[in-house]
Amino acid sequence: MLNGRRISVIIPAYNEEATIAAVVTDFRTHPLVDEVLVVDNNCRDRTSALAAAAGARVVTESAAGYGHALRCGMDHASGDLLVLTEADGSFRAHDLEKFLAYSADCAMVLGTRTTCQMVGQGANMHRTLRWGNVVAAKILELLWYIPVEPRLTDVGCTYRMLHRDTWRIIRDGTREAGPGFSPEMICEALRHRLRVIEIPVHYGRREGGESKHSRGMSNIARTALKMFRCIFRKRLQRALPAARRGNPAEPAKPE
């Protein structure tokens, strides 16, 4: 808990039995975390049982896809601050304080994996993948330069934090089932003129399993295409009238 606000960590999972217990334990033992929620997205292994044994609350989502799993997790989480992360061990709980430091000022805080000095040996962030993420982020940045001037280097990083009220505001504007959900969340927040910033996070080697979206150049290309399609679709949507936008002011302080 931080200043009276509960913190939920949300972990989408698909066949992650090799890593899920360690990831749950890492975040659950962080002194500020109140809840670790694992979303079982049609796992065919022991992911759910191992997550529950490690202390997580497990919910299920039958609609397959990264976006569906994260939507389910944010809908079911009990916290006032929602932290999204991966089940593969590539992100660590010790970076949480960096996100929380900006929670009073920003509606959404994004992690970036493109800072070379923060990428661990063996991490799935080779030069092509890293620069692909940077290019996608800069395109989004350019498209939204007027009116919000974002500063981004990575639109695909799962590790991020948002307020429950932020999710309430952007939820109905999200529909992506797969990896396009990550940039879609950002674009929808920008449509509502919410404050979005980016911070560098440690990005380590996967502790088990394989990436579903960046395994091989063909998968990387398909993922990039989905992200670009989402970014352009969101930018071409009709602008929200001021009366329908979320409140861009600082998140409310707890009573």
Chain segment 216-237, per-residue pLDDT in tens: 567 777 877 888 888 888 888 7
Read off φ and ψ for residue 46, nearest 5 degrees: -95, 20
Is residue 246 over pLDDT 80? no
Q: How does pLDDT run across 13-36, given as a tens digit for each residue?
A: 999 999 999 999 999 999 999 999
Domains of the chain as residue ranges with CATH: 7-238 (3.90.550.10)
Structure tokens given for 10: 């949300």
Decide if pLDDT at 190 tops 50: yes
What is the model's pLDDT at position 255?
A: 35
Q: Considering Cα of 146, then 147, then 149, then 154, what sign does the dihedral take? A: negative
pLDDT mean across residues, the chain: 88
Residues 113, 125 contacting (CB under 8 angstroms): yes
Q: Which segment of 135-144, 153-162, 216-225, 237-246 scores lowest on mean pLDDT?
A: 237-246
- The answer to whether 24 and 99 have CB atoms below 8 angstroms apart is no
| Residue 23: alpha-carbon gap to chain centroid | 15
End-to-end CA distance of the chain: 14
